[in-house]
Amino acid sequence: MESVWRRPAWAQGDVLAYGGDYCPEQWPEAVWAEDFRLMEEAGVNLVTVGVFAWARLQPAPGRWDFGWLDRVLDGLAEHRIAVCLATATASPPPWLTAAHPEIQLVRADGVRLSHGSRQGWCPSSAAYKDAALELAEQVAGRYAGHPALALWHISNELGCHNPVCYCDESAARFRVWLEDRYETVENLNLAWGTDFWSQRLSAWEEVLPPRTTSYFGNPAHLNDYVRFSSDELRGQLQAEAALLRQLAPDVPVTTNFMLPGRWRSLDYGAWAADVDVVANDHYTLSDDPRPHVAVALAADASRGVGGGRPWLLMEHAASAVSWQKANRAKTPGEMRRNSLAHIAHGAEGALFFQWRAAVAGAERYHSAMLPHAGADSDQFRAVAALGADLAKLAPIAGSTVAAPIGLVVDRDSWAASLRPTLPSAFLDYGAALREWYEALWDAHLTCDVIPSTADFNSYKVLVTPHWQLLDAAEAQRLRDFVEQGGHLVATYFTGVADRCDQVVTGGYPGALRDLLGVRVEEFRPLLEGQEVKLSDGTAGRLWTEPVKLAGATAAAFYVSGPSAGFPAVTRAERGAGVAWYVSTQLNPAGLGEFADRVADEAAVPRIDAPADVEITVRRGAEALYTFVINHSAEAVALKFDGVDLLTGDTGPVMAVPAGDVRVVEQALR
């Protein structure tokens, strides 16, 4: 396996990456020596440098100032700390947007955003792209051969604050994008269904971005604008990547994704092909009652978009963030469990935002590895202890996680689900994804969270929540998967429309009707808070359908609510496999029972573990590494024939105290 970063000359053997965003430009040079010393003390071996340093690196057009960055990189190298070097293109400096105001993003209501925050550039701006590539070329040209350089970091969270722009330059680029896709205006009219509300177009020039309108916009228009905008951002990623690969061919290229949330608009399944290493940023939410489930979901998505490749956790928080309502501090041990959970799910290291807590700027109250209190702090001691843990886990570098279940995310369907004009405004793609994931997590089932374009062949089970926009070829892929022995779980609002968001007629769920063996004549969504009972004792919310059987058999019926008496969950045997249809949002107990049943039928290997004890297995060339993360409040004892890399404990029975972690190495003979 190739390492996810170019290992520096001083490195001996593989190690996991440990470190964070390092912003020396925010500090007097006198502080740097302390940074380097404390980084070494904490076991830091990789830092991300220069993400927001454009204004420092290029103080004026044609003027470059790399002296300070030379000294930073040299200093880091002396301390044997490798660098993930940013192209620094994320935030243009004030002089650039002053000279080219058209770089600044325009909102749907026509307001052009002012300079003063970050990442406010229009993804279609030529002036931005020219300047950014000039900067990236300067950075790459200067540092390609630097001994500390281990990884290129393109931009930062592409599309985080600028996922779409509605300016005239974007409009012109959108027309070209559409012409590429549809060739003629007539094809576009057909695809967008423009005979509805007199929207018929007669020339490309009439196409506009979906700006603020009097009433609902055209869903197909809105869908294409999301696709176009994602492609524009991807164009920036590809342009910078091409330049870096030309100037430094042996240094891997990455950018930080925001999985899973931003998958709602950014086509990460496609973007993953543009990077050598998938990297992800993940932050837990203060009001999430089970943040560790969110961590696992993000990690399984990071592995899933990359097709199972080892990946890197580029950012997470050492404790609180500074952008939520109440920024909850992590509890003792939570940071360690979060970092190790990402690694348990396949990350080749854990990096934080950020190394040293800032004193100025909008993020001055964001946590850091080195907090405002300084090195004499519980936070820094925990950071150093985690660094020591990661050093002990070096043997796992390069090992991978294999999952028998694919939880499918369709970017287009997620984006489309966020719009008005659906049968229910309470449809919630992100929540459904999380609920299905949580059921699998609770059942100790390992899954990859994969794009709908992924190869399905390696999975025994596929779960497709809300795959609303699905074309005939995709329906055929699912049929092939089932007929060859796969178990498909399709949920309500799957397969109802094609990729142009035009409803498939003849009964829902359209393209999947035959495969699922059901036919539905109308949707019967529920009101907020309404619950319906099912014949198996579970319950549903949000949605119901009067399902008619057309080849499937009923596994559970509605016993209350608008679809009482009709099947709620169905099962159809097709070829060597099974196609399930779940026509309501099952409550957690229902999802749990259902997950168990499908896993048993599909003969998915199960891990026997107590509730809230997370277990994942990484497979290396010579050993299996079983991560046991005890999120519960009780100590557990598990049977293991191996040695814990963290404590040296050996089996056959291993105690895992509440909140603690074990990584058991078992040799493969």
Tell me which residues touch ligand GLA (CB under 6 A): 156-157, 281, 283, 315, 321, 353, 363, 366
**Shortest distance, position 319 Cβ to ligand GLA, whole Å:** 11
* Catalytic site includes residue 315: yes
d(CA 164, CA 265): 9
**Shortest distance, position 50 Cβ to ligand GLA, whole Å:** 12
**Shortest distance, position 539 Cβ to ligand GLA, whole Å:** 37
Which residue in the list 157, 232, 240, 334 is annotated as catalytic?
A: 157
Strands 643-644 and 623-630, bridge-based pairing: unpaired
**Shortest distance, position 283 Cβ to ligand GLA, whole Å:** 5
**Shortest distance, position 365 Cβ to ligand GLA, whole Å:** 11
Q: Is 652 exposed, middle or buried (0-12, 13-18, 19+ CB in 10 A)?
A: exposed
For residues 512 and 495, the answer to whether their CB atoms sit within 8 Å is yes
In 183-332, which ranges are continuous DSSP H helix? 185-192, 219-247, 268-271, 291-305
Q: What are phi and psi of 509, to 5 degrees?
A: -90, 70
CB atoms < 10 A from the CB of 327, how many? 15
Q: Which of 4, 90, 84 is nearest to 52 (CA)?
A: 90
For residues 119 and 157, the answer to whether their CB atoms sit within 8 Å is yes
d(CA 565, CA 562): 9
* Cβ proximity to ligand GLA, 139 vs 443, nearer residue: 139
Which residue in the list 169, 240, 315, 614 is annotated as catalytic?
A: 315
Which residues contact residue 179 at a Cβ distance below 8 angstroms, ignoring those fewer than 6 apart? Answer: 204
d(CA 198, CA 479): 38
Q: What are phi and psi of 366, to 5 degrees?
A: -85, 140
**Shortest distance, position 160 Cβ to ligand GLA, whole Å:** 7
Query: Mapping DSSP to helix (H, G, I), strand (E, B) and coil, where does residue 382 land?
Result: helix
* Cβ proximity to ligand GLA, 270 vs 358, nearer residue: 358
* Catalytic site includes residue 531: no
What is the chain's Cα-based Rg? 26
585 CB-side CA count, 13 A: 26
**Shortest distance, position 168 Cβ to ligand GLA, whole Å:** 29
* Cβ proximity to ligand GLA, 259 vs 344, nearer residue: 259
Angle at 547 between CA 542 and CA 551, to 5 degrees: 140
Q: Which of 656, 661, 633, 636 is nearest to 646 (CA)?
A: 661
Q: What are phi and psi of 615, to 5 degrees?
A: -130, 125
SS (H, E, C) 61-77: CCECCCHHHHHHHHHHH
**Shortest distance, position 219 Cβ to ligand GLA, whole Å:** 31
Residue 488 is encoded by which pair of tokens? 């498909």
Give the active site residues: 157, 315
